[in-house]
Chain A
Amino acid sequence: MTSTTSRRAQRGVVPARAGGRSRSRWDRFGLPSLLLAPLLAVILGVVGYPIVRTVWLSFHEGEYLMTGAFNGADNYTEIFGDPYFLAALLRTTIFAVVCVVTTLLISLAIALVLDAGSWAARIVTVVVLLPWAMPRVASGIIWKWMFNDQYGIANWLLVSLGFDSFKGYAWFNDGFASLVAITIAVVWHSVPFIAISMLAGLRATRGEVLEAARVDGASFYQQLVRVRLPMMKPLLTILGVMSTIFAYQSFDHFLVMTTPPGGPSHSTEVLSLLTWLQAFTVLDQGVAAAMAVVTFLLLAGITAVYVKLSKEGT
């Protein structure tokens, strides 16, 4: 896979003298700069500047969305002394780990079923990807309805299966049960993309090596664990980190499914929700900026691991 990519990259570069006329200077510097200018403008304007500004804000007082005096690391000492922030940090991390593990396992199972192939797999592939297209706000609302205490289909199903204690069970009165329901909704939403990517990865492992393993009498399980998954390691790394980062950023489902946002009594507050509430409900943008910077550093760390691991994979 890597060798094809690099070969393609070599093939992809047009020699500056192509065409023979004296336009090399324009071709080499002018044109690419012009083509890249809009992208760079957007990156600098709505991504680069805001990052710098957030870092700057995190060292200042910022009540009522007005920037106040420089206050050193006060905002950071404040959030790291705030039990709600620390709880949210821990809660988000656990939530992310559970989401990622569940998502990856379910996705792998789906990808294997689709890879086993048949006339139906093509249609099922489209069906699998469908939840990804549903707006997160809508899916949050629907899952909240399905987890309704009196009339929800989840409780009805659980009671019909013999778990009588779920009769009228109020999922959203309790932090842990709320998180279980939200996790299910988030996983339902994040599985499609990961499953389809894994399917592509599984298909790419078909070939001589797998054939040799099959001829040697390796079982389905041996083929998967000893041959196919190791071949997919770079892809699995990317998908793992991508889903970790998406889980850390979950916001819509939490805002929609918990009342009040992050409740009951702060028991479902996650980093993104807490930061947003801090900035636009508590109106303290300095502290909120510090929270955002901490999240950013955390995710940057994860991204660095991703870049490193995917380099090792090649």
Chain B
Amino acid sequence: MTRRLIVYPAMALICLASLFPFFWMIVTSLKPDTEIFTVSPQFIPHEPILSRYTELFSGAIPRQFLNSLLVAGATTVITGLIALLAGYALARFDIPMKRYLLIVILSIQMLPQTVLVIPLFVVLRNTDLLGTYQGLVLSHLALTVGLATYMLRSFFMDIPVSLEESAMVDGASRMKAVRLVVFPLVWPGLAASSIYGFITSWNELMFSATYMQQSSRETLPVALQQFFSSYYSDWGGVMAASVIFTIPVVVFFLLVQKRLMQGMVAGAVKG
């Protein structure tokens, strides 16, 4: 009983700490300036306004939103494909030096981005990909493929090999057996690595700020950072832009959170 007296208040505190910044961001974006700049905070807006959102939507935000969606979407799909193939190979075959390959794959995750940002700038400039979507997607793959492959490999390892063996004994080729028997079972893993890839790419700032200089190709993190540094006293507007930036990831996250947690936990516990 005493335990409950600790656990429930603690849970309430945890929820408050987790959710308050979200709540405060939304509330601030809905308040008129007179209610934002008050000495004691106003937790519920008296006269909520939506004008900040309509203003943002008539500006550059829809374009930047699409840019981000395009880059994050492409990164997600390509990461998923690469990780699916490689994850299968690493789970099922005796590959020479597999141990070292796995260490390399995991170490990519530990690389400081600053090591990559300068040479990739040069590479993209030399290949005329600087400031293009393709270039940015390419740079984002460096951040996503490692962990995605590792996650999918652990999902493949959980699928009994006897399933594809029996399909192969029945005369199916390996590719066919994999396509019909194994891939349908590995969907949760694909969902987990996809959301990981999407969030990574959607949130990424350093590469995006460096490579996407042209304003029509700017992605949301860059646009938001610049908006913030030039209009930082317009807190309501900045909060509204942050809400627009945050909503897609949170929605995507809530849709697949169960799978994602399985994947992350598998990565952490087995890793």
Contacts and interface: CB of A to CB of B under 8 A. Distances in A.
Nearest to B229: A259
A158 interface: no
Given A11-B160, A134-B249, A32 B25 contact: no
A135 to B, nearest CB: 4
B161 A276 contact: no
Nearest to B205: A252
B1 interface: no
Interface stretch (A78-86, A144-152, A207-215): A144-152
B118 A11 contact: no
Interface in A3-17: 5, 8-9, 11-14
Given A128-B18, A196-B265, A197-B269, A141 B228 contact: yes
Interface stretch (A39-47, A96-104, A222-230): A39-47
A54 B118 contact: yes
Given A1-B269, A39-B82, A129 B245 contact: no
Contact of A11 (B15, B138, B161): B161
Contacts of B123: 49-50, 53
Interface string B69-113: 000000000000111011011111111000000011101101111
A interface majority secondary structure:
helix
A166 interface: no
A76 interface: no
B194 interface: no
Interface residues of A, number: 106
B254 A126 contact: yes
Contacts of B228: 137, 141, 256
A257 to B, nearest CB: 10
A113 B4 CA distance: 10
Nearest to A4: B270
Interface in A264-314: 271-272, 275-276, 279-280, 285, 288-289, 291-293, 295-296, 299-300, 302-303, 307, 310
Given A133-B250, A137-B221, A279 B122 contact: no
B249 A43 contact: no
Given A12-B91, A13-B93, A137-B221, A151 B37 contact: yes
Contacts of B11: 113-114, 120-121, 124
Interface in B246-265: 246, 249-250, 252-254, 257, 261, 264-265
Nearest to A128: B18
Interface stretch (B48-56, B58-66, B164-172): B164-172
A110 B14 contact: yes
A173 interface: no
Contacts of A204: 269
A188 B81 CA distance: 32
Given A127-B15, A130-B18, A35 B86 contact: yes
B48 to A, nearest CB: 18
B268 A238 contact: yes
Interface residues of B, number: 105
Q: Which 6 pairs from chain A and chain B are nearest by CB? A: A53-B119, A39-B86, A35-B89, A50-B119, A197-B268, A138-B242
14 contacts: A1-B270, A11-B160, A18-B168, A35-B88, A39-B105, A43-B145, A51-B119, A130-B18, A134-B250, A150-B39, A235-B268, A255-B205, A299-B110, A299-B112
Interface of A: 1, 5, 8-9, 11-14, 18-20, 23, 27-28, 31-32, 35-36, 38-39, 42-43, 45-47, 49-51, 53-54, 57, 65, 67, 109-110, 113-114, 116, 118, 120-121, 124-131, 133-139, 141-143, 145-146, 148, 150-151, 153, 156, 188, 192-193, 196-197, 200-201, 204, 235, 238-239, 242, 245, 248-249, 251-252, 255-256, 259, 271-272, 275-276, 279-280, 285, 288-289, 291-293, 295-296, 299-300, 302-303, 307, 310
Interface of B: 3-4, 6-8, 10-11, 14-15, 17-19, 21-22, 24-25, 28, 36-41, 81-83, 85-86, 88-95, 103-105, 107-108, 110-123, 138-139, 141-142, 145-146, 149, 156-158, 160-161, 164-165, 168-169, 174, 199, 202-203, 205-206, 209-210, 220-221, 224-225, 228-229, 232, 235, 238-239, 242, 245-246, 249-250, 252-254, 257, 261, 264-265, 268-271
